[in-house]
Structure 1
Amino acid sequence: MSVITELRVAPDEFELGRLMNLSDHTTVVLERMVPLGQTPVPFFRVRDADRDTFEGTLQRHPSVETLTRLHRQDGETLYALEWIASRDRFFSAMTETGAQLVSATGTPDSWTFELRFPSHEALSRFHEYCEEADIPITVDRIYSPTTPGMGPWFGLTPEQRTTLVSAVRGGYYDIPRRMSTQDLADEFGISDQAITERLRRGIASLVEHTLLPTDTVEE
């Protein structure tokens, strides 16, 4: 049975966190990791960054081979990054244990990862790998993906469930929209960026645990 863990790691504890060297108020969201030969290519969105400084920092780093700006809209820039991932022992631990990246969000203070492992044994090996590499991680949650009809929340955290329910009831998804992102942010006392990320991750969890059960549950 596969298992999902949510964990946090400091930016200076792994290569990707160090090379991005995020400044104040900058947020990075990894969209996905696409294999290119033996190198995983991250696609990621960056918000509230000094674009020239951010791009210059990455392009000068010895682990970075190519940084490609793909799209910019509403203050966010989408990039593709080709880098020498073998230098990053955290991502090497993911590769060695068969972990799949579900989501990841980075700030100047911390990175939050949601990783799916093929088994509890693989997750244990990942923890051992991080300990041997002296990479401190903080595990916030471990759970098994559910199939439809198993469990009431289908992998949602309480915060994600409450936010999604409020968004639907308040008309956030109506056309025309009757509630804005800022309205939701004010209701929960957090930033509009945090609300957007919570909704995005909540919807991703619902899809993975209801529409894709065969991909998350092994016999």
Structure 2
Amino acid sequence: MSVFAEFHIPTDAFALEFTFEAAPETVIEIERVAATSDLLTPYFWVSEGSFDDFEAAADADSSIENLERIDEFEDSILYRANWTENIESIVYAYTQIGAVILEATGSAEVWELQFRFDDHGRLEQFQEYCVEHGLQFELHRLHDVTNPKTSRQYELTDKQRDALVTAWEAGYYETDADVTLEDVADELGISQQALSNRLRRGYDSLIETTLTVTPPEEDD
């Protein structure tokens, strides 16, 4: 049974501490990530603050290497880079536990990370690892996939569900709607790119857990 766990971790205990200190207005949202035994390579959006300030800070930050612009979307830029310091917890979660990061957002104050674990045993294994290595992961919320009527059944995070429902309630999906992505983003208090990411991830989870499920074979 899948378990969804949201952890909070102080920025000074995770990667990019210096970047956030030098460019405190920066907000980072991880798009996807690859991990090896000693390296984390995320694709991530920067959606707040000065991009020049962020890039200057990142260039001087020893915890990040090979920063590269991948794409731009109005008020956000997608980057790729190698993160090399204070990332042992994520590397362990990916390579040893098989956990998946559903969402990860970082600011000058805190990183919010939401994981999906295959079961409680793997979650407990991850928590034990954090305790043994002095990693400051605070469990903020925990959900089991038990109720088929909840969004967790479809592997939606709270933010993805809020984005989908808010867009639907605003009439964004109606054929002749005059509601824009910007309108919905303003309602949620996030950037258009952050909203676009959450909607896309929400669609992906809904399709994977509903339309691609193999139906039972019909009787002859």
2:125 is the alignment partner of 1:125: yes
Amino acid across the alignment from 1:54: F
- For residue 151 of structure 1, the aligned residue among 145, 149, 152 is 149
- Map residues 62-101 of structure 1 onto 2, 5 A cutoff: 62-84=62-84, 87-94=86-93, 95-101=95-101
Unaligned runs of at least 5 residues, structure 1: 215-219
Cα distance in 1, alignment partners of residues 202 and 110 from structure 2: 20
Cα distance in 2, alignment partners of residues 61 and 186 from structure 1: 32
8 Å contact from structure 1 (residues 93, 130) kept in 2: no
Name whichever of 194-203 and 102-111 sits farther off. 194-203
Distance apart, 1:6 and its partner CA: 1.6
Distance apart, 1:10 and its partner CA: 1.4
Unaligned runs of at least 5 residues, structure 2: 215-220
Aligned residue in 2 for 1:193: 191
Aligned residue in 2 for 1:2: 2
Name whichever of 198-207 and 70-79 sits farther off. 198-207
Aligned residue in 1 for 2:57: 57
Distance apart, 1:157 and its partner CA: 6.1
Aligned residue in 1 for 2:112: 112
Distance apart, 1:2 and its partner CA: 3.2
- Kindly provide the CA deviation profile for residues 178-199 of structure 1, in whole angstroms up to 9, marking residues without a partner as x: 2234544665xx5143982665
- Kindly provide the CA deviation profile for residues 46-69 of structure 1, in whole angstroms up to 9, marking residues without a partner as x: 012322221122222233331111
Distance apart, 1:102 and its partner CA: 1.7
Cα distance in 2, alignment partners of residues 144 and 65 from structure 1: 37
CA RMSD in angstroms, aligned pairs only:
3.3
Distance apart, 1:31 and its partner CA: 0.5
Q: Report SS of the residue matched to 1:21.
A: helix
- Alpha-carbon spacing, 1:91–1:163, altered in 2? closer, same or farther (3 Å): closer
Distance apart, 1:122 and its partner CA: 1.3
Amino acid across the alignment from 2:19: M
Q: Report SS of the residue matched to 2:191.
A: helix
TM-score by length of 1: 0.75
Distance apart, 1:78 and its partner CA: 0.7
Cα distance in 2, alignment partners of residues 21 and 162 from structure 1: 27
- Kindly provide the CA deviation profile for residues 86-142 of structure 1, in whole angstroms up to 9, marking residues without a partner as x: x52322432332222222111221111111223311110111111222222232322
8 Å contact from structure 1 (residues 27, 107) kept in 2: yes
Distance apart, 1:74 and its partner CA: 0.6
TM-score by length of 2: 0.75
8 Å contact from structure 1 (residues 2, 118) kept in 2: yes
8 Å contact from structure 1 (residues 181, 192) kept in 2: no
Q: Report SS of the residue matched to 1:131.
A: helix
Amino acid across the alignment from 2:191: Q
Over the matched positions of the two proteins, sequence identity in percent amounts to 31
Distance apart, 1:158 and its partner CA: 6.7
Aligned residue in 1 for 2:217: none
Aligned residue in 1 for 2:19: 20
- Alpha-carbon spacing, 1:166–1:73, altered in 2? closer, same or farther (3 Å): closer
